[in-house]
Each structure stands twice: as structure tokens, then as C-alpha cells.
Amino acid sequence: MSRKNIIAANWKMNMTPSEAAAFLDPFLNTFSEATAVDIVIAPSFIAMPKASELITPNSAVALSAQNMSHEASGAFTGETSAAMLKEINTEYVILGHSERRSLYGEDDAVINKKVHAALSADLKPILCIGESLEEREGGQLESVLTTQLEGSLADVTIEQMGDVVIAYEPVWAIGTGVTATPEQAQDTQAFVRSVLAKIFREEVAAATRIQYGGSVKPGNAADLIGREDIDGFLVGGASLDPQSFAEIVSAGIGG
């Protein structure tokens, strides 16, 4: 089954609106036409309107949020709704990032509510899962990932899975400079796909795009993307520099 690679920039709490514009102006020219990969940029909420202005509907780049509320509207200070994101042409939303899980206490139950809120609003979730080093070394890798997938995807339908992207991000590889080896990433992502086959069915698992994330750089992207079950990247640090992110996108086109 051929899956279109999807390369996403997770800018985290970096890039002011003017910095986002300075990145996007040249970057959007580099990739002005539809490419063989999906390119996604996830700025901070405050930089999203500026990014949305620059990303035209027929641009090769799609806009993503880094998080959202599962509530539709109301007294939820500091939160952002799916409708607000839709109004500025947001297409994707990163959900369950390990920083949201560990620093802001998000668990699979709340992430599941967000996944449903996103899908109902026609936003495509990039659902993040991943194990800590202790969990991997303690032999819990498979149980941790299975629990995260079952919990976060509870009651998602087979049809809805067509809009879901999974990002496998080992916590020990995020922002550490330590990347999973291509073998580790491939083995784990093949396992993730087998869990999707059990939760849904074989065809759903075969069609779902699974990104790798964790210290992806221009120097390791080509090796990783060459593996069967790696269908793109979620890139943090290396996505802040237009040149290095463009090189990673190019690796995604080649892979």
C-alpha cells in the first residue's frame, strides 16, 4: 500500500508572528506547487493567523495547530476551540504531544475527547504516542503504546481513521539529539501498525500514515524515511530553520 509521506513542523513555543512570516515567505516559494509529500506547519496560536494569511488555499503547505480544546466554546480561559481553528483554514491539529502529556497532565481520556472534537470539526488529528526510556528499558514498550492507541482512539470509526495521522515519538528522543535508529523506529512503527490492525482492521492499518518524531535532522531523515513503516516526520528543533526543514521535506519526497 502506498502512503503519501507527511512532513510536519512543530514549532512549539518558538517563532513570533513576524518570525513566522520571515520563515514562510521564502519557504512557501520553495514549495509553491503541490508536492509528492504533504507539508504541514504548526505555529503557535498567536502566529497562526499570520501563517494562514501567507498560506494560500492552493499552496503546497497546510496549517496545523499544536493543541486545541475538546470543548466547543464557553468559560475555558486560555483555551482555543476547533471552530476558531477552522475559521483561519487550519487543516491539522497535533494532539497528545508528550509535552502536553507530561507538562500539562493530558491523559488518553482527554486526548480521546480532543480527537473526537477535531474529527467532528473536520480537522485532521496528528495523534502523538511514545514511551519513556524507563518504559522501553523496562520492557513496557508494547503495553504503553497499545494503551495510548486504544485510549486515544476509543470509539473512532474506520471511516474517521482516514483523517488520522499517528506520530510515534519516543520521549527519550525528543529534543535530546538522540534519534531512534532506523531499525528501532521501523520495528516500533510496524508494531504500532499491528495494533491499529487489531483495533480497526488490516486495511485501516495499511492506509494509516505513521510519522516518526524525535531529533529528526537533515542528516538522519533519508535513512529513516527509507523504512517501510515510516511515512513522514514530526520535526521540532530542526523545523525552526527553513533550510534544514526544506532538506527534511526533500528527504520525504525522495523516500
- Which residue stretch of 43-51, 107-115, 168-176, 243-251 sits at the interface with ligand PGA (rule: CB under 6 A)? 168-176
170 binds ligand PGA (CB under 6 A): no
Give the CB-nearest residue to ligand PGA. Answer: 236
Q: Is 182 left (phi over 0), alpha (psi -120 to 50) or beta?
A: alpha
CB 68 within 8 A of CB 81: yes
Interaction of residue 169 with ligand PGA, rule CB under 6 A? yes
Binding piece for ligand PGA, criterion CB under 6 A, among 62-70, 79-87, 181-189, 236-244: 236-244
Phi and psi (nearest 5°) for 61? -110, 140
**Least separation, in Å, of the C-beta of 240 and ligand PGA?**
9
For position 237 contacting ligand PGA by CB under 6 A, the verdict is yes
The three grid cell numbers given for residue 71, joined into one nine-digit string? 470543548
State which of positions 7-46 bind ligand PGA (CB under 6 A): 10
Whichever of 118 and 235 has its CB closer to ligand PGA, that residue is 235
Q: Which of 91, 97, 99, 131 is catalytic?
A: 97
Nearest approach in angstroms of CB 109 to ligand PGA is 22
Residue with smaller CB distance to ligand PGA, 175 or 226:
175
Q: Which residues are catalytic?
A: 97, 169
Residues lying near ligand PGA in the complex (CB under 6 A) are found at 10, 169, 174-175, 213-216, 234-238
